[in-house]
Amino acid sequence: MELRNQVEWVLHCCTVLAALPEGGRLSTRALAEFHGVPKEYLSKALQALARAGIVEGTLGPSGGYRLARPADEVSFLDVVEAVEGPGRAFVCNEIRRNNPCLGQFRPGGKCRIARVMWQAEDAWRRELASVRLSDVTRALEDDVPQDVMERSAQWLVDRAG
């Protein structure tokens, strides 16, 4: 049960996009080089984000991605689900129906085991939904020195066109 690398990548990309000044865009190439990840594959993940309505990309030169919503309206869960899909981690195959001794009895309701597993997943989702991109960008300003932030902003703008 491992999350894809793409999840880590797009979360970092989104926090960068969230810290971007109003109206700015960043190309896939800039984001990929900035994070040291393969550009073409990152592109796939960003497309998924675009399909989910989290970012929006524009074509042509000086094109690129920007957040489609304010950073405080995008939760971690939104981003994770956009890349990882909305499916559950635990899939119930109803193997209790394979019990050869059921006779006429057909089990109704949800399998107890699935219910427990899904309850845990709901807790996971709740936690992710409670954190927004804006929370991270704010925390980032404490972690990273001012000059690094400025150099990074300049670096990104330089290859944004």
Partner DNA sequence: GCCATAATACTCGGATAAGTTGTGTCCGAGTAGGCTAGG
Partner DNA sequence: CCTAGCCTACTCGGACACAACTTATCCGAGTATTATGGC
- Is 69 an interacting residue with respect to a copy of itself (CB under 8 A)? no
Closer by beta carbon to a copy of itself, 58 or else 127: 127
The helix/strand count (H/E) of the chain reads as: 7, 2
Contact (CB, 8 A) for 149 and 138: no
Q: What angle do CA 22, 24, 26 make, to 5 degrees?
A: 145
Among 24, 43, 92, 128, binds DNA (CB under 7 A): 43
- Is 49 an interacting residue with respect to a copy of itself (CB under 8 A)? no
Provide the 8-state DSSP code for 21.
Answer: P
- Is 157 an interacting residue with respect to a copy of itself (CB under 8 A)? no
Task: Report the alpha-carbon distance of residue 123 to residue 89 in Å, rounded.
Answer: 13
Encoded one letter per residue, x for contact with a copy of itself by CB under 8 A and - for no contact, window 83-122 reads -x--x-xxxxx-xx-xxxxxx-x-x-x--xx--xx-xxx-
Closer by beta carbon to DNA, 47 or else 138: 47
